[in-house]
Homo-oligomer: A and B are copies of this chain.
Amino acid sequence: MSGSILIAGIGPGDEALITPQVSAALAEATDVFGYIPYVARLVPRAGLTLHASDNRAELDRAGQALDCAASGGRVVVVSSGDPGVFAMAAAVFEALEAGPAHWRDLDIQVLPGITAMLAASARAGAPLGHDFCAINLSDNLKPWALIERRLRLAAQADFAMAFYNPRSQARPDGFARALAVLREECGLDRPVLFARAVTTPDEALRVVTLRDARPDMADMRTMVIVGSSQTRLIARDAGPILYTPRSAS
């Protein structure tokens, strides 16, 4: 009677960036669980039940999906981007670890996807072409002091930095504090990419310096990438290319 649960990444938005592995999983699913706008990207069909839930409900959604799989469903949990990067895979495993023992017997797999920082990087050039880090700037699940400490150490390590969830209406001030910390650690001339809604019709890219970066350039659909000390801009008529060379001294 036991079913399966696949935690699948549906990429940043463009259908052409969904892997055939994930498309096949969705075609065979009996039940799909996910955040409302991600589930809305799927095409309904007979035999498929769509379970859309709210943003902050990750753990509840994970538990419902595990329950559904334990009842025999072929369950897919969808995340935008890659499920393993600030997304549903960790939430499902948190629920699994805290839940009933028989959940551990489920057939469970993570299907990777194109995560937002790599889609944004591709659209801008290759700002993550050398060592880099990825930080979730939301302080919903960790204290601001830890975020600030990580920002300072990452800057001292001279990583390029990719920031997920830079700013929301519920947290309007954190990103301004992050920019202030980065100006202290990296100086004013460091390039910053604001990449909004990449690969969708709403896509907008902007490259500025830390001097000119303003908090209102980001919202929850924006990926922010701050270059390392080595990151360069190539001027072109078709728009600049932002990239970090492979070598460093």
Contact = CB atoms under 8 A, between A and B. Distances in A.
Nearest to A235: B104
Given A141-B248, A246-B90, A119 B129 contact: no
Contacts of A131: 133-136, 150
A234 B149 CA distance: 29
A159 interface: yes
A178 interface: no
Interface stretch (A19-27, A45-53, A66-74, A203-211): A19-27
A19 B21 contact: no
Interface string A226-249: 000000101111100101111111
A111 interface: yes
A246 B91 contact: yes
A153 B150 contact: no
A112 interface: yes
Contact of A122 (B112, B127, B128): B112
A200 interface: no
A89 interface: yes
Interface in A30-47: none
Contact of A112 (B119, B142, B247): B119
A111 B60 CA distance: 35
A89 B244 CA distance: 10
A7 B126 CA distance: 11
Interface in A90-143: 90-91, 93-94, 96-97, 104-105, 107-115, 118-119, 121-123, 125-136, 141-143
A17 interface: yes
Given A21-B16, A104-B236, A118 B112 contact: yes
A150 B146 contact: no
A86 B107 CA distance: 33
A14 interface: yes
A154 interface: yes
B237 A112 contact: no
A129 B86 contact: yes
A84 interface: yes
Contacts of A179: none
Given A93-B234, A114-B112, A130 B136 contact: yes
A131 B157 CA distance: 15
Ordered nearest first, which 5 A-B pairs have the shortest CB separation? A90-B129, A89-B126, A133-B133, A141-B247, A110-B122
